[in-house]
Amino acid sequence: MNTIITVWAGGWLVVTAGLTVAAGRIGVARTAAWLVVLGLFLLALEEPVLTLWLASTGPRGDRDGMAGLVTPMARAHVLDAAVFGLTAAVLLGRLALTAFRRGHRWAHRILRWGLAVAVATEAATVLFVSSRGLPLPGPGGTAGRAGLGWQPIAVGLLAWALGLWVARTVPAPQPRTAPKREE
């Protein structure tokens, strides 16, 4: 399974590199927006979508499945958190394809803050909960030695960060002025 995930992430890394290299041909703003969306897509699959799956299935369906192992209230909270996370990813993706693509600095700032939250959260869970297969010292490394899944997270964060970096050259839109009325 780890090989499959590595190949999957490697394919998306090639797409990320291809988009970055093609920025001159397809447009810097378009490239930046799609890199952010690609990063959000990979992170959403690895976090809220996987969390929805784990909360919906039991140990027979997935060794990490929670259904039947936790109280209904705990399961409801996990499902709620997954839906909120997925909704946030969709909204950030929409922001990337609209205001960010048009060069609005406030959208760039929101996406930068979103990336900072994602990086901080991933770093904390990898170091203190489960390293997802990375050989790290400490509690996260001990619990996560047999784990998997760090590769798509790394590519997702990289794609999102590259999108923000590429967008630094996108000019801000000019404010619209109302036409002057003749009297």
Alpha-carbon gap, residue 15 to 22, rounded angstroms: 10
Alpha-carbon gap, residue 14 to 95, rounded angstroms: 24
Sketch the domain layout of the chain as residue ranges.
2-167
Alpha-carbon gap, residue 37 to 32, rounded angstroms: 9
> What pLDDT digit, counting tens, does each position of 4-30 carry?
999 999 999 999 999 999 999 999 999
CA distances from 99 to 33, 102, 134, 138 (A): 10, 5, 36, 41
E strand intervals along 37-163: none
Alpha-carbon gap, residue 17 to 127, rounded angstroms: 28
pLDDT given for residue 77 in this prediction: 95
Which residues lie below 8 Å from residue 123, measured CB to CB, with a gap of 6+? none
Q: Give average pLDDT by consecutive 10-residue segment, the chain, 183 residues.
A: 88 97 94 98 95 92 88 94 97 97 95 98 91 83 79 96 92 73 71
pTM of the model: 0.89
Closest CA to 101 of 21, 18, 31: 31
Closest CA to 30 of 160, 158, 166: 166
